[in-house]
Amino acid sequence: MAAADVSAPFTGTSDAADGPLIGPASSGVIPYAEAAATAGIDPPVVRFVLLALGTMMTVSVIAFAVADDIARSGLSVWTLLLAAVFVLPFLVYHAGRTLGTLKRLSVANEAVGQARTRLLKQSIVFGVLFAITASAVGYAIGSSGNETHQLLTDEDRYSEIGKRIGQQRNSAASAVPAQIVMYDKLEPDVRAYAAICATLQIELTAYDEKYPAQHQTTKVALHNVDNEAKRAELLLQEIEVARRLGSLGDTQQWAGWQSDMKPLLDEEDALN
């Protein structure tokens, strides 16, 4: 039997048409990349692109959630953030493995290596852009949501204090001495009411500028708050008058009530 020609180059074929591409060491071994190229295996570019897109979207979701929570000063979308954090390692792991496959294939095909480098660079650039955009959008939405939440909270407090002041005034007897005692107890709530009115004036003005479509509703609300701010100023003046009257006798209290308190009450009634 003639000896085999060991000088002939290995072609990656065998006598059997469907035989193994890579045989045992004794039959000759070729690198995976060369074998894949010989067998016509396509590089897993599509798989990497899909994994890269998934990674970008997940990072964007995380960036959005974090920025939104920073703007709101709390965890408002923590479930979304938690889900994204669990998905991200899976995507990064498989994207890394796919990059490794592309790297091995690039040994036999320079075009694969160039495509791998280009895809990696593009993925990083677009990933950063996606994350920045998502962060900006998340922060804007979070800020808007936080402002709206704060406005609603302040309106609730405004209504609560206003009702409490009204109940105290309505429950007091109409005699001057009883009214003087009522005004003395009223001062803390009136000062808090004046403060919340000032806050709402600022918040509603900003809200009106940001949401012009709600102008008519905001205009009415702002008008009411302006009136109540004036009422709070008059109440503070009435409290000062009541404090002075408290040190006088009954006759002087009545006279002082007519001369000093009644004009303030009439001015307050005009606000209704």
| Tokens read off for 88 | 């991200």
The answer to whether 145 and 76 are in contact (CB under 8 A) is yes
The answer to whether 20 and 38 are in contact (CB under 8 A) is no
**At residue 194, what is the residue type?**
A
pLDDT at 76: 62
Largest CA distance in the chain: 143
237 pLDDT higher than 60: yes
pTM: predicted TM-score of the whole model, two decimal places: 0.61
Confidence of residue 136 (pLDDT cuts 50, 70, 90): very high
Q: Name every residue whose Cβ is closer than 8 Å to that of residue 85 and which is 6 or more positions away in sequence.
A: 62
Taking alpha carbons only, the member of 98, 256, 76 closest to residue 176 is 256
CA 190 – CA 236 distance, rounded (Å): 7
Q: Where are the domains of the chain?
A: 26-142, 172-269
58 pLDDT higher than 50: yes
| Per-residue pLDDT reduced to its tens digit, 178-234 | 999 999 999 999 999 999 999 999 999 998 888 888 899 999 999 999 999 999 999
Residue 20: how many other CB atoms lie within 10 Å: 9
Taking alpha carbons only, the member of 192, 206, 202, 241 closest to residue 225 is 202
SS3 for 167-211 is: HHHHHCCCCHHHHHHHHHHHHHHHHHHHHHHHHHHHHHHHHHHHC
| Per-residue pLDDT reduced to its tens digit, 20-54 | 433 344 444 434 444 444 444 456 778 888 888 88
